[in-house]
A and B are shown apart, each in its own frame.
Chain A
Amino acid sequence: MSLASESCGTIGTAPRRDEPLWPYFGLGVFLGALFIKSEVASWFRIQEMFRFDAVHMYGVIGSAVVVAAGGVALLKALGLRDAGGRPIEFPSFDTTRVRPNHLLGGTAFGLGWGLIGACPGPLYALLGSGLPVMGVGLLAALAGAWTYGWLKPRLPH
């Protein structure tokens, strides 16, 4: 299967040959600090979310979606090209289909999220904040990703 099979959009956009990587490192630093200081990397906040006890996590995710949607709509409306001069390809409601892997994989992800209390971004951030046990969690996530790659031909999609 090619990268185009990636169901959440594609990760296969051809890279610009001259594209510097440091801006992505910088973006990561910003995000890592944000995940910790906004407490979305907190196991306690994740339990609070799944117990419906506070608005915090819903506020973070909800306002992120609204701002992101506004930004995407603006990019589309202006017909902007990316910084490399290429037209931007947006996945959309019409180009994506619900398949079993979204529900089944999503549920498996949610089971893990409720246990370890961190999704992949916060896993990296927690490791950096000085919690070596989250290095073990990250290795387990890598083992999970590898196992998916191994079982992929036998799993429903």
Chain B
Amino acid sequence: MEFLRQPWPWWVAGPLIGLVVPAVYWYGGRVWGISSSLRHLCAATLPAGLDYFRYDWKATGSWHLSMVLGVVAGGFLGGRVLGRPDDVVAIHADTRSALQAMGVQDFAGMLPADLFSLASLSTPAGLVLVVGGGFLVGFGARWAGGCTSGHAISGLASLQRSSLAAVVGFFVGGLLSAHLLLPLLLGATGGGP
């Protein structure tokens, strides 16, 4: 079972994720997506009389909510049973040096602990990355009608042009963040591009 503890290569992980789409169509007649769970959680806890949250979230959302509860448990399985919290992600040397130039120092684990921790939330950069980033992910996914799972994978796989447009948007936004916002936030010095 040692291979399960190694990082799983993209040519294993990608096809496994891809199989989920026909499996969910076949099992439940449903379009696979994850960000709808955010809507269901809002509808369940704080609908506030808004039209967007006025629907039977138990009927349409129980499967999404069961799935994301499983994803939390699976995160424990992947991160603590089949892996360790400080496993280093083998990113390309160019990415690593670009991030180092922006001041990122901690390369252990899934994300840099010097930027992502409860303590870092009191710094402007930590707050924008976690709270600002999280807010935009939730807001944008619902505005676009789907996230990476629903649009980039389910949507592209069934050749929806709306999903292609959303994925173009994902990249426009992501490129702006990675190349403009992140260097600004981290106060990059040294004049790199």
Contacts and interface: CB of A to CB of B under 8 A. Distances in A.
Contacts of A116: 129-130, 133-134, 137
B42 A145 contact: yes
A119 B104 CA distance: 21
Interface residues of B, number: 138
B128 A115 contact: yes
Interface string B138-171: 1111111111111111111111111111111111
Interface in A19-56: 19, 21-51, 53-56
Q: How large is the interface on A (under 10, 10 to 19, 20 to 34, 35 or more residues)?
A: 35 or more
Interface in B1-23: 4, 7-23
A64 B150 CA distance: 12
A113 B144 CA distance: 14
Given A28-B73, A29-B74, A68-B22, A142 B41 contact: yes
Contacts of A129: 75-76, 78-80, 85, 110
Contacts of B70: 24-32
B25 A72 contact: yes
Label chain B's interface by main secondary structure: helix
B137 A142 contact: no
Given A72-B157, A105-B145, A111-B140, A137 B130 contact: yes
A107 B173 contact: yes
A62 B4 CA distance: 22
Contacts of A23: 27
B38 A155 contact: no
Contact of A62 (B14, B59, B98): B14
Q: Pick the 9 closest A-B CB pairs, nearest first.
A: A32-B74, A106-B169, A28-B70, A110-B173, A114-B177, A129-B79, A128-B75, A112-B136, A105-B143
Interface of A: 1-3, 6-16, 19, 21-51, 53-57, 59-72, 74-75, 80, 82-84, 86, 88-93, 96-99, 101-121, 123-134, 136-150, 152-153, 155
